[in-house]
Amino acid sequence: MSGTAVPRIPLLVDCDPGIDDALALLYLAGSPEADLRAVTCTGGNVEARQVAANAQAILALAGRPEVEVALGREGPIARPLVTTPETHGPQGIGDATLPEPRTPLSLRGGPELIVEEARRHPGALTLVTLAPLTNLAVAIALEPRLPWLLRRVVTMAGAFRGDGNTHPTTEWNATVDPEAFAEVLAAFAPERAPAGTPPPPRPVIVPLEVTESHHLVAADVEWIATLAGGGDDPVTRFIRDALAFYFRFHAEYDGFHGAYIHDALAVAAALDPGLISTTPLTVDVETAGRLTSGETVADRRGRWGRPPNADVAVRADTATFHDRLLARLATVAREQRGSAA
């Protein structure tokens, strides 16, 4: 080995674990280039306090109990919270079980943490959102300069060219809190920049049709176990038990025995932008449609006459991502088996 240090990318992650969120956090734990500074939580896949407990327990499982976990908004900014236990199980982690967290939650709220860290490290932090965009919308309300203070925003949300996974044309994160997503997109609009100020970096949206271009199957879980040294470790058992539930869900609702791992692809793209191809688009979110609330709309022909406010992923290098996902999950499993020995 050369001994050359891997350049590290400082990250904040906003999430709502959720099985695919859990695998995203494990992916980060197995990524030497990921400098995970903090995790913020909001209600989404399950209620917010269960989300926070899941995030703490998953980080502890991955050997990262020191990562600060903050509870953010417990529900959307303008409507009741809707959760999805049928997708992720009543606790959000499928058939898996995790011990109660041993470390306390942060004394900071989620949006406040995002703002404070961005002010402390202007232009340095990448924020990855894997949940409804409630915390980010509240953070921008607290600090309107936030789009300029963050180095990059990557969000798993929306559906543009395919079927939705919540309503016929809508994706889950966008549907749970469309008002928040709309406020975030408006904050990044170039025309909103003060006179003489360049626009902020456009957020990267990784939508459903891109995350659904990749999935795991049961053989992949067994390959993770093999790479990890046999599968008798706590991380591999968690992955196997969590995905067993997720596989059953997809078999019932999507017609295949496997699972889309939406959020892990988003964090992988945050670490390596070359994993996805993007196109700049002007994007907004429907908040009032009777059948389309939460639908993400891209103005591909310039009908609105506004410049792009997002870079939308249109494809992913799924083969490279697949290999990295299995390898990095196995790395975490192997390391934690070694530390427990």
Q: What positions carry a catalytic annotation? A: 262
- Residue 123: is it exposed, middle or buried by C-beta count within 10 angstroms (0-12/13-18/19+)? exposed
- Amino acid letter at 230? G
Residues 6 or more apart in contact with residue 177 via CB below 8 angstroms: 76, 77, 78, 79, 132, 133, 134, 137
C-alpha to C-alpha distance for 200 and 311, rounded to whole angstroms: 12
Token readout for 336 is: 């934690």
**Encoded tokens for 112:** 């406040």
**DSSP secondary structure of 208-259:** HHHHTT--B-HHHHHHHHHHHTSS-SHHHHHHHHHHHHHHHHHHHHTSSSSB
User: What is the C-alpha end-to-end distance of the chain, expressed in Å?
Assistant: 25
Identify whether the C-beta of residue 135 lies closer than 8 Å to the C-beta of residue 110: yes
CA distance 243 to 291: 31
d(CA 329, CA 30): 6
Cross-strand pairs, 118: none
Task: Judge if the upstream peptide bond of residue 18 is cis by omega within 30 degrees of 0.
Answer: yes
DSSP state of 166: S
> What's the CA gap between 250 and 260, in Å, rounded?
8
Residue 191: what residue type? E
Written as six digits, the tokens of 39 are 């995790």
